[in-house]
Amino acid sequence: MLDFLIAFEGGSLNTISEDVAKSPAYAGKRLYEGAICGVAAADDAVIVSLKANKEANLDMTQPEEWLPGAKSVLSFFLPFARWIPEENAGGDWPSDGWLHGRIEGQAFSSQAIAALAGKIREAGYGAVVPSLDPRLKVFMKYAGYPESLFTVNWSERHIAFAAGLGTFGLSRGIITEKGMAGRFMSIVTTLPLVPTPRPYSDLLEYCVKCGACIRNCPPQAITVERLKDHKLCDEYLVAVRKKEEPYYGCGKCQSGVPCASRIPGRG
Ligand code: SF4
Ligand code: SF4
């Protein structure tokens, strides 16, 4: 599966094309370097617990609801090529390279995952990509919960945690063996697969609480005590969108930090 993702369309979509490059120097630059994958059972206790979960501010549509007969959830992490978080380190606004990763990178990962789901269906199994499904919802929830304006009915980061890919950091990103800077996608499938063991027990186990993401965040949305203030983050992203339309993104909490491309303190 990972070979298919990386080789999708001959890898041509995994580069910034000349016609969209923000400057000629970006044309032909690679977006992702490799991919990793984990598996969670469709009825995994972590996933089940995220239904109407006020503490997590989530109301996750369950795998069986996305796809009757679902047996497994595949979670993929596509790490950005190192130059992207390196270029984005420092400063108050996202670098052009990060914006390319966020937009053209997301376009590549969406197309590649949709194609992989098609391959699973060709093999005779059901497969749904929740983040590309019209039933994906972003909606107001739990009025009065101050940290968040909205929630979603599928969280790629929580699915990655459930599928053994990594743990949360203070910035609320997921720290994987390939770091945090990149994109997560998932497939719900009727394919019966062996779940990936979770080599951690704590939500924040891979985070060394170094505070680099706190210092890097332009609107100061991250604190040790309250983790991430989604409202401040969202307002900043709106400001970026106004400045960079049609691009948006930030990633300062994933760039120039020890968890950008690895698990801190583990080689
Ligand atoms: S930058 Fe440091 S504190 Fe922030 S998520 Fe990464 S390891 Fe944790
Ligand atoms: S994405 Fe940007 S604004 Fe949001 S928490 Fe990370 S650094 Fe802060």
221 lines ligand 2 (CB under 6 A): yes
- For the ranges 105-119, 133-147, 205-219, the lowest mean pLDDT is seen at 133-147
For the chain, domain boundaries:
2-254
Q: What is the DSSP string of 191-245?
A: ---PPPP----STTTT-----HHHHH-TT--EETTTEE-HHHHHHHHHHHHHHHT
Q: What percent of the chain has pLDDT over 90?
A: 78
Q: Whose CA is nearest to atom 8 of ligand 1?
A: 207
pLDDT in tens, 18-27: 999 999 999 9
- Distance, CA of 44 to chain centre: 20
Contacts by 235-241, CB closer than 8 A, 24 or more apart: 240/93, 240/94
Q: Give the pLDDT band of residue 46 (cuts 50, 70, 90).
A: very high
Q: Give the pLDDT band of residue 164 (cuts 50, 70, 90).
A: very high
Q: Closest-lying ligand to the alpha carbon of 214?
A: 1
The pLDDT value recorded for residue 142 is 47
168 lines ligand 2 (CB under 6 A): no
Mean pLDDT over each residue of the chain, to the nearest integer: 91
Which residue has better confidence, 226 or 114?
Answer: 114
The pLDDT value recorded for residue 229 is 78
Residues with CB under 6 A from ligand 1: 169-171, 207-213, 257-259, 264
pTM recorded for the entire structure: 0.93
Q: Give the pLDDT band of residue 239 (cuts 50, 70, 90).
A: very high
217 lines ligand 2 (CB under 6 A): yes
Tokens of 153: 């009915």
Q: Whose CA is nearest to atom 3 of ligand 2?
A: 233
Cβ neighbours around 157 below 10 Å, total: 17
Task: Indicate whether 89 pLDDT > 60.
Answer: yes
Distance 265 CA to ligand 1 centre (A): 11
Task: Indicate whether 11 pLDDT > 90.
Answer: no
The pLDDT value recorded for residue 78 is 95
Which residue has better confidence, 217 or 223?
Answer: 217
How far is residue 142's CA from residue 5's CA, in Å, rounded to a whole number? 37
